[in-house]
């Protein structure tokens, strides 16, 4: 078996062969639906391009991938338990609420719903836990968690299209044995099974699943894979923006949610995870949905459970044990994936974190309470931010994490307008989790699949739609 790195070195010296394979890969992407709208026309499907991806699959250690998959059902359970623990959420987020207006507004909705005392007995979660393989000084790989996404954990529709493209390219390149190492992911059916189960439990056959979507819909074609899976199960799907929910949404006397006369069984958030997603009107729409009988994916407490501050608190000694009493093996399995995380809350411990970060900024990542990629700070950016906020409560809007030194590989990144070249890259393993709780009992809890996203090591932060990260498949080694 030839390694793809050896083959890439040979290929880059043969431009004609390289260009031929690249054109074939792009055409396969179109053939198999690996598509996205363009940045120039994000709300039109008349002009589309291929979603960015690697020419070849990137090597990933088998042990790391299996470890990430094996722990996912426990992480599903952990997120769900956190969402049911108001005392923990309030204590964990106390500093962030004071320092970060966005977190405070989310928590304000959570508190209002809690005070009203009514809760939907059906809970559905679609999560993605992201990891990097940290390369230790002795050369051994170690899986380390980057974050848990509990809202709008996407890209699995497009991700399911890529393995067939990579298998074909490997075969076309003459790497027949290597092509057999690329497995289908089939994540979409597993993730949509959770939404379908929640819809079924809601018990109204004519009720719809509402996709709550953004104004600029570059990713709409990815959503269509998800919608198709639901329509194939005879589950009706509608798409609405926050503004449309605000104009056309209402609750009846029983708190059933109606949009334009249609009863909504499940609201699936593909939007709503960044401050600029909201206006005063859309905050009201979010509250309307949260107060309704509709099943929310995620509900507001599950959204808060995925914040960076909660991630940092979970890494403290003894905290996981609170959620998994008498389950030391589960605690160890989860904790083994944690990187070191540090509080920036006001007080002596936070002061020590600030001093540590300012002394060695290249050893850490500074994270605000944000999702969606492109939000973190590195190196001298950390110094700039902390010098500005180190003396007041604004610093509690951030956490600090040890910087992971990921294993690197060689690959060619394909993105419209990007020159062809051999790049040094690093990858994030994403594992999708799906669960449904009904009347206090887990009725579904699965690791639904995985995805690999890869970027040049020249970039610190990532993001497919920010033009940095590309889709990938693991070449298991």
Provide the token pair at 178: 């290597």
Q: What are phi and psi of 115, to 5 degrees?
A: -65, -30
Q: Looking at the DSSP assignment, which residues form a beta bridge with residue 411?
A: 423
Provide the token pair at 410: 């060689």
Read off the pLDDT of residues 214-262 as tens digits, 9 standing for 90 and up: 988 888 999 999 999 999 999 999 999 999 999 999 999 999 999 999 9
Percent of the chain with pLDDT over 70: 98
Read off the pLDDT of residues 77-124 as tens digits, 9 standing for 90 and up: 999 999 999 999 999 999 999 999 999 999 999 999 999 987 789 999
The model carries a pTM of: 0.96
Read off the pLDDT of residues 182-191 as tens digits, 9 standing for 90 and up: 999 999 999 9
**pLDDT confidence tier of residue 1, bands split at 50, 70 and 90:** low
Domains of the chain: 4-339+404-476 (no CATH), 341-403 (3.30.1490.50)
* Alpha-carbon 247 to chain mean position: 29
Q: Looking at the DSSP assignment, which residues form a beta bridge with residue 130?
A: 147, 430
Residues 6 or more apart from 344 whose CB is under 8 A from it? 350, 353, 354, 395, 396, 398, 399, 400
Location of structure tokens 């009201």: 284
Read off the pLDDT of residues 278-337 as tens digits, 9 standing for 90 and up: 999 999 999 999 999 999 999 999 999 999 999 999 999 999 999 999 999 999 999 999
Read off the pLDDT of residues 330-376 as tens digits, 9 standing for 90 and up: 999 999 999 999 999 999 999 999 999 999 999 999 999 998 777 89
367 neighbors 401 (Cβ within 8 angstroms): yes
444 neighbors 430 (Cβ within 8 angstroms): no
User: Over 60: is that where the pLDDT of 2 sits?
Assistant: no
Averaged pLDDT of the chain: 95
User: Over 90: is that where the pLDDT of 27 sits?
Assistant: yes
* CA atoms of 459 and 207, how far apart (whole Å): 44
Give me the mean pLDDT over the 264-285 stretch.
Answer: 96
* Alpha-carbon 311 to chain mean position: 14
Q: What are phi and psi of 450, to 5 degrees?
A: -140, 165
* CA atoms of 58 and 169, how far apart (whole Å): 13
């Amino acid at each position: 078996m030839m390694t793809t790195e050896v083959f890439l070195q040979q290929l880059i010296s043969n431009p004609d062969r390289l260009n031929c394979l690249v054109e074939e890969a792009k055409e396969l992407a179109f053939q198999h639906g690996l598509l996205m709208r363009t940045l120039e026309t994000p709300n039109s499907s008349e002009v589309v391009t291929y979603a960015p991806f690697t020419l070849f699959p990137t090597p990933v250690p088998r042990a790391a991938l299996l470890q990430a998959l094996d722990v996912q059902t426990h992480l599903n359970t952990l997120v769900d338990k956190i969402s049911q623990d108001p005392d923990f959420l309030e204590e964990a987020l106390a500093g962030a609420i004071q320092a970060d207006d966005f977190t405070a507004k989310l928590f304000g909705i959570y508190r209002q719903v809690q005070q009203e005392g009514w809760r939907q007995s059906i809970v559905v979660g679609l999560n993605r836990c992201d990891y990097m393989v940290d390369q230790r000084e002795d050369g051994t790989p170690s899986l380390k968690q980057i974050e848990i996404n509990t809202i709008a954990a996407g890209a699995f529709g497009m991700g399911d299209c890529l393995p067939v493209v990579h298998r074909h390219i490997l075969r076309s390149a003459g790497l027949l044995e290597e092509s057999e190492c690329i497995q289908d992911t089939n994540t979409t059916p597993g993730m949509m099974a959770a939404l379908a189960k929640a819809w079924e439990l809601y018990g109204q056959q004519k009720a719809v699943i509402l996709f709550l979507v953004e104004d600029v819909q570059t990713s709409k074609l990815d959503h269509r894979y998800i919608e198709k899976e639901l329509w194939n199960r005879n589950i009706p799907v509608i798409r609405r923006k926050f503004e449309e929910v605000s104009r056309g949404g209402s609750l009846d006397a029983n708190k059933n949610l109606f949009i334009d006369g249609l009863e909504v069984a499940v609201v699936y958030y593909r939007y709503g995870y960044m401050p600029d997603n909201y206006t005063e009107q859309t905050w009201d729409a979010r509250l309307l949905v949260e107060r309704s009988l509709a099943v929310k994916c995620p509900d507001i407490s599950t959204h808060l459970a995925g914040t960076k501050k909660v991630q940092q608190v979970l890494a403290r000694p003894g905290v996981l044990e609170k959620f998994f009493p008498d389950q030391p093996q589960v605690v160890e399995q989860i904790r083994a994936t944690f990187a070191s995380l540090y509080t920036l809350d006001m007080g002596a411990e936070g002061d020590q974190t600030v001093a540590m970060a300012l002394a060695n900024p290249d050893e850490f990542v500074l994270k605000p309470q944000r999702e969606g990629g492109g939000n973190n700070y590195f190196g001298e950016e950390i110094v700039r931010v902390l010098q500005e906020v180190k003396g007041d409560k604004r610093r509690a809007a951030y956490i600090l994490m040890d910087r992971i030194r990921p294993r690197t590989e060689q690959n060619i990144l394909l993105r419209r307008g990007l020159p062809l070249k051999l790049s040094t890259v690093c990858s994030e393993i994403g594992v999708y989790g799906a669960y449904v709780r009904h009347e206090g009992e887990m009725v579904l809890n699965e690791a639904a699949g995985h995805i690999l996203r890869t970027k040049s090591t020249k970039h610190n932060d990532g993001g497919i739609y920010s033009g940095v990260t590309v889709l990938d498949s693991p070449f298991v080694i």
